[in-house]
Chain A
Amino acid sequence: MSAIAPRPPEIVMRLARLGAAHPTRLSFLRALIRGATRERWRLRRARFALDDAGFGHAVYTVETPGHAYSLVAFSTPLADERRTDRVIAEAWDASFVLYDGAPDADEIARLQANAPLQEAGRFTARELVLARANKSVRLFEAVVAALAKGEQPDGAALAEVGYLLRTTAVYGNGKFGIADRDEFAGRPELAGPFRAEMLTVWLIRAFSFDLVDHVAARRSPGAARLAPELRRSLGVGNATGLGMAPFLVRHPVLIHRWFAARETALARVRGLAEADEAEAFARSLAVFRAGVEAWRTQDARQAAAIVALKADLAGLAEAAPQILRGPLPWDALYRFAEARLSLEGQEACVALMLEPHGALIDDLADEMQADETLGQGLDGRVTCAAMRQILAHRYGWAAETDFADPAANARFWYVSADKLEPRLGERFEEAGAELEQPLAVARDALGLAAALAEAPEAQPLADFLLRHPQWRHVARRAQTLDRCAYAEIRDNLIGAEMRPIDILRAKLAFFGARRFDPRSDRWLRIALFADEPPIETICSGEAA
């Protein structure tokens, strides 16, 4: 194996490339599936108390070597006019908690009184995740109707939507009183980032299949059950909006770990002397191309990117066999992609190169969580001059932007009073810029550098920050970044042209999402677990 350096952050951490990210085998839901398979988790449908119309509750219990976890699902009637994916909704078709253990009747009753209320309910440390979902109006009834007639639903219609239920929020880490992540992060089965959230969504997928089977069976004694290949193709939809974007900026150490793992994996594969997995690569590429054919979006920009991606993949399929016979074959293939393909194509190539190399890289999935207390320290013993050097070294890229230009400073991130959700405002057109959230990293790094230039060079940073505490978070961040190359998105996050969905897509790709479908520059639709094995087949205990 030759030593190939990981791609540097100035290549990796740009918005345009983040906005072209694809899931890889290191993505969180893939790591979950591998863990469940390896540890032989067992799924049990412990309770399924739904009426003829599919309303009621159900409990799915997963037994892992260490602990049992239960999805407690509540399905409730919802008038069509109340069904919205926006976070402002107050009622949903279904609500869920991931419960620590197996709930008894009293616990189910407690959850029944709270889970459907979501943010307006109160929860305890027994609940690890809180979520809700709406039915796909287009698909749900069509699937039930077909099954009730003893037929399978139209595969094309299924592919068009991609899911039966779509979550509109999946809350973890202490929200609304649920368990702090610290409480269970030490358990091996939930140790990876967002592992509990991914398990919840995987179980919601099982519930969505059981729900259509159940309603169809109650409608007609001769009803069919949803066919295994259709189950496999369907995921759980998700509407993801601005709320998720600040997460990446607020968790620089964690984000560094995610990108460092992926880039280390890529470097390992590029360093291989022989392409032993060339055939497996070709198979993955064929599967991927079929998936891209089924990728639907009405967003003109994404649609154009998909067209380019299709051409890229055709070119990759043609060139790969020859390239992979040469020296340092995977490195050569990556360099081919870098030279010839669109960003979508390049990042797809990265995912495809990682795919057949599990034995070489899967250990990296265990390194994607972070001790975020690392980002809390601040060394005030350094001088102002030394701090300026750190800033110049790590934020040189920020100087490319002239923040005196109104277009560079056009937006501000804020939290809305009505819904307590992150929003993006127009600084020169809307009120509230004085309440800006500290997400304008590039501008603020330059601001701190300028302020330090006015201070005595030998002054300790501690003394400077005592007089100028408004720079405290910026100094701390810069020192953190000094140890974490991939901690920072190296673009202006408040520019007039910035597209929040680029940030969202990068995060969702790490989750393992596919079929990115932008609905504006600020929110998008995805499917999780589409084309992945259903949990009931991986954890085949007495599962329904």
Chain B
Amino acid sequence: MIALSLNEAETLCAKAARGAGYCWGQADDIGRAARALAAEGSDFGAALLVLLQTRESFIAPTPERLARWRAGGPDIAGVGALCPVLAATWLTDAGLDAVGLRLINIGAPVWLDALLRPAGLGAACDDPFAAGDATLIRRPGPFETGKRAAVEAEIWRALNAYAAQTYVPESESSRRRGAGGGRVDDD
């Protein structure tokens, strides 16, 4: 295991999420949620890897499902597993106090749980990493902080590979100009 500061865990996860194709604002939320998972001693790295490896199969909630969520349920099944990032960010953005709402077939529900924390909510499910149903529950903060994060070396490398997709390779021109040019250190 590699010991990380919580800030390192958050930064790595936000970058990896962006590298895997999430938008900047979503990546910021995923980073903060990963920090919360890490602070609780959860395996944030394994959780993120599951999300990033399966995200392309996830679906967005339809307007019909949103209307049902607004009404407090019941949810209806979609044509695939629901994206936990889109579901959680919509629920928090919309300010719904949807305790008791049962979402059907949501992917990597650990992320629904973690991303709902800022709203004082969470999600209960059978397997946090595997697609399945999840029920919204109340999870009042504040949450435990002050711990270090830990990640397995193999997962750390995999997340860094995703993060690397946000970097621009150096070219001759960028080497010359990008960092500043000017005079070298001669003092």
Contact = CB atoms under 8 A, between A and B. Distances in A.
B90 A417 contact: no
B169 A180 contact: no
A301 to B, nearest CB: 13
Contact of A472 (B24, B168, B177, B185): B24
A143 interface: no
Contacts of B29: 472
Interface string B41-80: 0000000000000000000110100100000000000000
A267 to B, nearest CB: 34
Given A415-B168, A471-B25, A523-B180, A177 B89 contact: no
Contacts of A45: none
Contact of A438 (B24, B94, B146): B24
Given A125-B148, A417-B170, 10 more contacts: A122-B3, A137-B186, A242-B179, A376-B28, A416-B174, A430-B173, A432-B169, A435-B166, A465-B25, A475-B25
A462 B93 contact: yes
A423 B182 contact: no
B104 to A, nearest CB: 18
B146 A423 contact: no
Given A421-B179, A469-B86, A522-B179, A462 B167 contact: no
Interface in A453-475: 460-463, 465-467, 469-475
Nearest to A84: B185
A371 interface: no
Interface residues of B, number: 49
Nearest to A471: B25
A124 B187 contact: no
Contacts of A519: 180, 182-183
Nearest to A467: B60
A463 B179 contact: no
Given A177-B3, A415-B168, A418-B170, A473 B148 contact: no
B140 to A, nearest CB: 16
Contacts of B186: 137
Closest 5 CB pairs of A and B: A472-B25, A380-B93, A520-B182, A174-B7, A174-B5
A542 interface: no
Contacts of A475: 25
A186 to B, nearest CB: 10
A463 B169 CA distance: 36
Contact of B164 (A166, A417, A432): A417
Given A183-B146, A416-B168, A522-B181, A466 B174 contact: no
6 contacts: A175-B8, A182-B6, A378-B93, A466-B86, A475-B25, A523-B179
Contacts of A161: 187
Contact of A465 (B5, B6, B93): B93
A179 B179 CA distance: 28
A424 B178 contact: yes
Contacts of B24: 438, 470, 472-473
A525 B94 CA distance: 48
A376 B118 contact: yes
Contacts of B135: none
Contacts of A470: 23-24
Nearest to A139: B187
B99 interface: no
A376 B168 contact: no
Nearest to B183: A519
B173 A429 contact: yes
Contact of A173 (B7, B63, B95): B7
A283 interface: no
A420 B167 contact: yes
B174 to A, nearest CB: 6
Nearest to B8: A174
Contacts of B169: 416-418, 431-432
A430 B25 contact: no
Given A137-B187, A180-B5, A473-B24, A417 B181 contact: no
B7 A376 contact: no
Contacts of B164: 417
Interface string A53-86: 0000000000000000000000000000001111
Nearest to A87: B179
Contacts of A466: 60-61, 66, 86, 89-90, 93
A181 B180 contact: no
Contact of A426 (B32, B177, B185): B177
Nearest to B11: A174
A161 B164 CA distance: 39
B6 A124 contact: no
Interface string A161-183: 10000100000011111111111
B36 to A, nearest CB: 11
Contacts of B92: 378, 380
